[in-house]
Structure 1
């Protein structure tokens, strides 16, 4: 929960860069030359991190500081059951699979299967929460109200609007992309278990080196898994976008993939990647640190 609060501005930026609703506003940097406005597309890797800071500044100025925390209410409501489900399902799943199908021994395929199960269960149960969060983050209007009601109750009108315009199915938009994203969960867990073995020489001895090895393993595993599977994040955000003029632009996983590539190019499948990495890598490191610490208590 602390990680979600601290990194909320990066989450808002990531969601907007993944969406085509903000492409004209946040996707490029406008410059003036000879009285004619031109659009400069920055392709330098370092620029993407600078761009993230610029977008945070623009949201702060144009929409108010509270706008940097849009969707935080649903995030905090969803982060506890989501993390609880994924760790509970994975931790118990790998024990059950190992005992019944691998003679009580853990292996990479056991970790992979348990992680896949954990990802599917978590994605199915918590999908409505993330749909509401995405809709709130894609709302460019200034928060009309402040305080606890804005934080806790801002999602209620959004839920009502989704149910009124799209029905219950609207709360499960992007679920197919979430299932595709199970590959990220499996890669992350398998890599984490592998990298943890590389630091096995320090385990059980205590001290900073043991914990540094686990934190480094968690951060590295999340980074690699994210880089490999990131396009599913963009597809999921597009599928969860609100109706535009009463019409649905993105209707299915493959239709969304084809349309995004045709209209914007394959590079757009990595929109918001820098902001996403700045958010999830520290989160993963802290989360796994607490997880491992709890197992040792």
Structure 2
């Protein structure tokens, strides 16, 4: 990791940069956006795994068709299949990500939040945070994917493929497939760390450049509209650049297909579907992830700012 800001190194406590407020704020943002937008996430996953060669899998003509078909066949609850692990996964992933990212970033800065890092160090901090978060949350994403892919019209499905809920699914996957089953899709998800790194680098650089343009410290609070705009642009850039890994990850985690590994999945997708196969579900994905990211980042920024301000007030009282 990069050398810390030298002027602070003598008085900087190694663990003082770890603040639980970032964890709480990240969880708040992730849970809020997930509860509001889960149906779009479910539809994105179903589009992503639909290779057109599995007769038992429902066929949707578009986003509207998917929404109405699922609602008609599976009811309102069908639109929220997999919501429990999604809430757990999204909440914990965003919480851990913001915690790790801000801890690593502050460590690199030597505790001085006004020190700019530049694109390279922002990507380094985000990449390290992404790997640590993925190690903790990959099993939850496997469960979410499988619960989202339990179709009502699949007849005679093996009992082993029917999950009653998040805890049951975790137990069944571990029982039948071991730890490897809980970490299916881990390799393409590791490649996807670049998605988060690119997104956070873009987001941070836009905020910093904007504040520098206004001749203000880079950690100056922004307006709500500014947070929303920077979050949307950063997510759009990252999503467009890295979406194919999400398709491969979803297909590897789908228990209706059996691939020998990541490269086998890539070859089969290319052979039968061409380049378009790697971008299946992109429309519903962008429809969901752009507003989801805007909500997540806005809630995070507001909650973390409030909680950190409260921390400063308590520290002043204690030192008085």
Q: TM-score range by the shorter chain?
A: 0.7 to 0.9
1:28-47 alignment, distance < 5 Å: 29=61
Which structure 2 segments of 5+ residues have no match? 1-30, 154-162, 307-320
- CA shift digits 1:104-159 (9 cap, x unpaired): 652211111000011111111100001001001111027xxxxxxxxx96123322
C-alpha displacement at 1:22, in angstroms? 6.6
From the superposition, tell whether residues 129 and 141 of structure 1 become closer, same or farther in structure 2 (CA, over 3 Å).
same
TM-score, normalized by length of structure 2? 0.74
1:55 counterpart residue number: 66
- CA shift digits 1:202-245 (9 cap, x unpaired): 978xxx9832112100111001100100000000001101155x
**Correspondence for 2:97 among 77, 86, 90:** 86
Q: Distance in 2 between matches of 1:12 and 1:21?
A: 16
1:71 matches 2:101 = no
2:280 counterpart residue number: 271
From the superposition, tell whether residues 156 and 291 of structure 1 become closer, same or farther in structure 2 (CA, over 3 Å).
closer
| Greater length-normalized contact order (CA 8 Å, ≥ 6 residues apart) | 2
Contact 2:123 2:200 in 1 (8 A): yes
Secondary structure, in 3 states, of the residue corresponding to 2:278? helix
Contact 2:200 2:234 in 1 (8 A): yes
TM-score, normalized by length of structure 1? 0.80
Q: Distance in 2 between matches of 1:233 and 1:226?
A: 10
- CA shift digits 1:33-70 (9 cap, x unpaired): xxxxxxxxxxxxxxxxxx11110100110122211000
Number of equivalenced pairs: 259
2:181 counterpart residue number: 170
Q: Distance in 2 between matches of 1:117 and 1:282?
A: 25
Which structure 1 segments of 5+ residues have no match? 30-50, 143-151
**Correspondence for 2:167 among 145, 152, 156:** 156
Q: Distance in 2 between matches of 1:78 and 1:203?
A: 36
1:227 matches 2:257 = no
Q: Distance in 2 between matches of 1:57 and 1:137?
A: 16
**Correspondence for 1:210 among 213, 223, 242:** 223
C-alpha displacement at 1:98, in angstroms? 3.4
1:250 counterpart residue number: 259
Contact 1:235 1:253 in 2 (8 A): yes
**Correspondence for 2:44 among 14, 29, 48:** 14
